[in-house]
Amino acid sequence: MAFNQKVISPRTILPAEARVADLIDTSSFQPRWKGTLIDSVFYPFEVDIIKSIPLNFRLPPDSLIWTKNKAGNFTVRSAYFLQKELENASYGNLASSSHSGRRHSFWNIIRSSLIPPKIKSFIWRACTDSIPLRTKLFDKRISSSYSCVLCSDAAESSLWMIWNCRNKFIFENKTPCSDGFWSGASVYVMELMEVNKNGLTVPTAPDRKWSPPLSDSVFKLNLTLSQSRSKASVGVGFLIRNSEREVLAASCERVRKELYSLWTAAAVMRKALVFCQNSCFSKVIVESDFAEPVDFINSDRICTLEVAWILEDVKLICKQFVSISFVSVPLKYNRAALALASAAKKNEKTIIWLEKCPSFLFSIVQRDIN
């Protein structure tokens, strides 16, 4: 669809009051898109997008959604980023690619610099002209004066040391000495050079391994997906282990890749829960690297995007378990499930192992034990 996500195909067959529901065939239990009608109404690239949207068998009523954040709800923050995105797109049509590349390189240098985060934030604000100086506040009629609070003469400057002293003067009632600006800046630069010279040591977290459930009656389900060379599918892998670290069930298969990664992750999670349910495990801890779906399931956040109905399915399935919890873990702590997902990309059919461990998982499972 177009950049603003509006349909650009001309309205020829459908009436003006037509809704999305008019494009759905509800004659069977599982709703389907009316392929012939969609092919005759929309441009080919829009047809592919529409048909890739999964349908909810509960058929909720049509509703308006805001596509610029993950919950589907309008926020001022998302509107701001949309405005910047539009401005950048407009600017990009006029600017050369070399200029854009230099700007990208500049920000990479700032991000990787060994300087405190507050300085990085200040640089970004200064370069984007978003520091709340008095001149800014005066323009927005928030302040009655644009003069510097220190000298009450010129307009406020955005230099860091001056900004720091200005804040101390306003919020801590400390009057700085103007002679101390440059000496303070010099000391700060010397300290920074000393740190960069000696090297900055960042403590690293110990290499975590998979941890078993603490109770004999609770089982742990690990799942993930692996991108396939085919743009239309992904490999998915699930395995269930007990407190003795034994693999009780495992599965790998290729599934359709949905339009958005969040949809795909939610659909894979739903499939894994059905697999776990069919394998007769009722007390489960679910571990995956799907941070967004896990966050939606564990919180009371309301999602109005198309993926919402898949998450509703997940929550309905969860009610059929005696106990279930969801945990988001980094992919490197989910190596066994990743190996299954990678194997799925090489197979056309679904493979299931019950009460035994796939041979290619032995070494990974053994590393988790030791």
pLDDT digits (tens, 9 = 90+) for 195-214: 565 554 444 444 567 889 99
Tell me the average pLDDT across 255-275.
Answer: 87
Least Cα distance to 327 among 222, 237, 219, 217 occurs for 222
User: pTM for this structure?
Assistant: 0.59
CA 313 to each of CA 159, 212, 265, 266, 286: distance values in angstroms, whole numbers, following the listed order: 54, 27, 13, 9, 16
Q: Quick check: 216 pLDDT over 90?
A: yes
Domain ranges of the chain: 131-197, 219-369
Q: Mean per-residue pLDDT for 215-233?
A: 87
Mean pLDDT of 60-82: 79
Burial, 213: exposed, middle or buried (Cβ in 10 Å; 0-12, 13-18, 19+)?
middle
Mean pLDDT (whole number) for 87-113? 64
Reported as a single tens digit per residue, the pLDDT across 314-352 is: 888 999 999 999 999 988 888 999 999 999 988 888 999
**pLDDT score of 73:** 77
The predicted pLDDT at position 155 comes to 65
The secondary structure of 274-333 as a DSSP string is HHHHHTT--EEEEEES-HHHHHHHHS-----STTHHHHHHHHHHHTTSSEEEEEE--GGG
Q: pLDDT for 155-188, tens place per residue?
A: 665 554 455 666 666 677 766 555 555 555 566 6
72 vs 23 pLDDT, higher one: 23
Say what the pLDDT of residue 94 is.
47
Query: At the top level of CATH, which class does the domain 219-369 belong to?
Result: alpha beta
d(CA 264, CA 260): 7
Average confidence score pLDDT of the chain: 78
DSSP of 118-163: HHHHHHHHHHTT----HHHHHHTTS-S--B-TTTSSSBPP--HHHH
Looking at residue 12, its amino acid is: T
Rounded Cα gap, residues 341 and 314, in angstroms: 20
Residue pLDDT, tens place only, 135-156: 777 777 777 776 666 566 666 6
Model confidence pLDDT, tens digit, residues 42-67: 988 888 888 877 777 777 777 777 87
The whole-number pLDDT of residue 141 equals: 74
Please state, in angstroms and rounded to a whole number, the distance separating the CA atoms of residues 111 and 199: 17
pLDDT greater than 70 at residue 128: yes
